[in-house]
Amino acid sequence: MIKIKWFLIYFIFTTAFLKGQNILVWSDEFNGTELNTNNWSYELGNGCPNLCGWGNNELQSYTDNNENIKVQNGHLIITALNTGGNWTSARIRSLNKFDFCLGTIEVRAKIPEGRGFWPAAWFLPSEYYYGIWPISGEIDLMEARGQEPEKTLGTIHFGPLFPNNQYNGNEYVLPSGSFADDFHVFSIEWTSESIIWKVDGVQFSEKTRADVGDFRWPFDRNFHALLNCAVGGNFLGNPDGSTPNQGDFEIDYIRVYQNPINMIISGPEAIIRSNDSQKFYTQDIPGYTISWSVPDGTQILSGQGTKEVLVQWGFSSGNIEAIYTNAQQFAVLSHFVQVLPDSCSEVFDDRNEFVRLYWVGGDGGYSAFADNPLVNALNPSQQVSRYQRNAGSQYDVLQFLTDLIKNATPFEIESYKVQVKVYSSAPAGTEIQVLFEKRGLLSQPFPIGRRTILSAFTTATNQWEILTFEFVTTPDLNLLANEIDQFTVLVAPNTFTNPVLYFDDWAIKEVPCLIASSELVSKETSILEVHPNPFSSQIKITSEHDANFVLMDISGKMIFQSSNSTVMQSFLISDIPQGIYLLQAQSLKDLKTIKLIKN
């Protein structure tokens, strides 16, 4: 019996040790006599000039006046007020004062009753990492229509740009009475895979990754809280003669709870090898320390011991880890990062294992997942993407966001190239362009916001082929190479045609391949030898066949070439810097590449 008791004690202790607990990490109880500006900032006006009517044709102008917002008797009171036909109200947010990702969030509140009143507790992205609204998401914890005070709604917004934006939500109806009669607790339980809505502890909705369909689940980075009471607009209609001149949205508290074992690491899912540093972060939880671990070859530049680190990633894919520790508990968070290219050509979007391109808008009709029109040896995949060009658009665009390509430089110096498999109904010779752009600038005339243009031409009709895009130009040199956030495809630019195209296996090709050793790249058996290697001033090449030789630096820039060289040749190359070079030998039989080291 004693052994059994000790086992039970050990089991209970270990379970508690691993489960962790929900910890109150931030709250505002609205005690005192004024708004705590350490937690909140005001948003003022009517949204103009950039978002007049706050994007919904709302009537109110927001102020920080005491008649519209005050703290008293332990409550925050936001008042929508009609003065001579002009509506004023208040809106506050926690942006850059408290930003958070995941957890249980509670708001205890009472809403105003009256047609046109629109109280809300909701969350917006703090950094718009994936793109402007709604691409980076929106979470509505609670919103209500004043003319239906017995109902509340919980909703997520996501997907492509307006007018193709998406939302998914449910409503809850009180069994009796209305939300204007008394205070109720509205809450969400937000995890990496789902969001659950509750009213007074009763669940009424759950949305998971499956509920965003083909679009990106953007709820994996920091958001911030907003509290406001709008008036009128598209969502619920404008006030009428029955609407009182004053409506009070009263909030008792807002509380955020988090558990270290339920946190995630926010950061890129895939990166291109470059000199750019990468930011990864998680959440501060009171009482816990955070330490970070990265793969061999990867360096933490700053932030060790804090919630955010800046990382110089190495050459290999792997996991970055954050370890939460206190006296009794620990939790290890892990985040996998795909580093591309891992080899000479690496797929970053195959519609199956890797999905790194997310459609956000364009002119034609796009299906993210479609049946392969011709399953063959070149493309045995069952699932591909499909696009039909819009014949009414002279410069038809297909716009994607990607967490991968954030810097155009490697493509402009042509150390990397973009490849894709294409099946097209267009005639051979049809041009396809890839543009690296900054989305927020594209409303301005060309070339503003268009950093890089790559181009390829089809060679077949209704057949799979592999296209490699060549660098063409940089139209907007005022846009920095590391400021791009959109991957755009143009099909048959400067035409009015409507071909159907299928895409698969988007890849990054390294030019030339970075070779890990001095072994021959070619798998053929013919002889190609270079002596000495490493060299200082002269190399001697021995080849089984007559060949053309090209010496390149590691970026692919040609140093010299020799045509129709004999099977034995010496070259004096003493005037190049120390470093790594590639020698290519092209004969009638094959193509071989050797890595050379100049010392």
Q: Is 353 a catalytic residue?
A: no
Q: Which residues pair with 309 in a beta bridge?
A: 280
Among 58, 106, 138, 437, the one annotated catalytic? 138
**Residue 173 Cα distances to 50, 79, 178, 205, angstroms:** 36, 24, 9, 12
**Close Cβ partners of 506 (under 8 Å, ≥ 6 residues apart):** 347, 348, 349, 350, 356, 357, 418, 419, 420
Question: Are 28 and 87 spatial neighbours (Cβ–Cβ below 8 Å)?
Answer: no
Question: Are 479 and 441 spatial neighbours (Cβ–Cβ below 8 Å)?
Answer: yes
Q: Is 29 a catalytic residue?
A: no
**Residue 338 Cα distances to 131, 281, 311, 331, 419, angstroms:** 21, 17, 14, 23, 18
Question: Are 189 and 219 spatial neighbours (Cβ–Cβ below 8 Å)?
Answer: no
Residue type present at position 106? E
In whole angstroms, give the CA distance from residue 582 to residue 593. Answer: 7
In whole angstroms, give the CA distance from residue 414 to residue 509. Answer: 10
Instruction: Give me the residue label for tokens 């195959």.
Output: 350
Return the structure tokens found at 558. Answer: 């040609």
Q: Which residues pair with 500 in a beta bridge?
A: 388
Cβ count near 566 (within 10 Å): 11
Among 143, 412, 437, 510, the one annotated catalytic? 143
Cβ count near 286 (within 10 Å): 10
* End-to-end CA separation in angstroms for the chain: 74
Dihedral sign of CA atoms 176, 180, 181, 185 in order: positive
* Half-sphere exposure at residue 171, Cβ-oriented, CA atoms within 13 angstroms: 11
- DSSP assignment string, 359-387: EEEESSEEEEEEE-SS--SS---SEEEEE
Q: How many residues does the chain have?
A: 599
Question: Are 330 and 313 spatial neighbours (Cβ–Cβ below 8 Å)?
Answer: no
In whole angstroms, give the CA distance from residue 528 to residue 520. Answer: 8
Question: Are 365 and 344 spatial neighbours (Cβ–Cβ below 8 Å)?
Answer: no
Q: Active-site residues: which are they?
A: 138, 143
